[in-house]
Amino acid sequence: MKLLTPLELKVMNILWGLKKAFVKEILERWPDERKPAYNTISTTIRILQEKEYVSYQAFGRTHQYYPLVSKFEYQKRLVTNVLQDAFSGSVSSLFSALVDEKHVSEDDLDDIQSIINENKSEQDKDNKG
């Protein structure tokens, strides 16, 4: 799975939210005041099709697009790539970088601790059984 450019990711975030959309609907949901041209989004969608992130249903000459890859699936792939490429596979180094930059709130830490506890519990079950 190829990683997405910032423009492709913006289009995918809109498409993930809408589930299905025509190019004009993507443009209507564009978060910035400076919207790209219709042709820019259309070209970006075609690139996303080539990368196998998006497919479409044809309605005459117009196409309604939908994601082939879930947002969570993409996020997992992205984090895995960052982890391997930038942190040499060290989860603790990645987490330390996030904490050092104050990107982790107390609520986030509580959520992370719950995930760790749940994961440890499952590992303990696997090791015993």
C-alpha span between 108 and 113 (Å, rounded): 8
The second-level CATH assignment, the architecture, of 6-67 is Orthogonal Bundle (1.10)
> What does the pLDDT profile of the chain (129 residues) look like in tens digits?
788 999 999 999 999 999 999 999 999 999 878 899 999 999 999 999 999 999 999 999 999 999 999 999 999 999 999 999 999 999 889 888 888 777 788 898 889 889 989 988 888 777 876
Q: How many CB atoms lie within 10 A of CB 67?
A: 19
| Model pTM score | 0.79
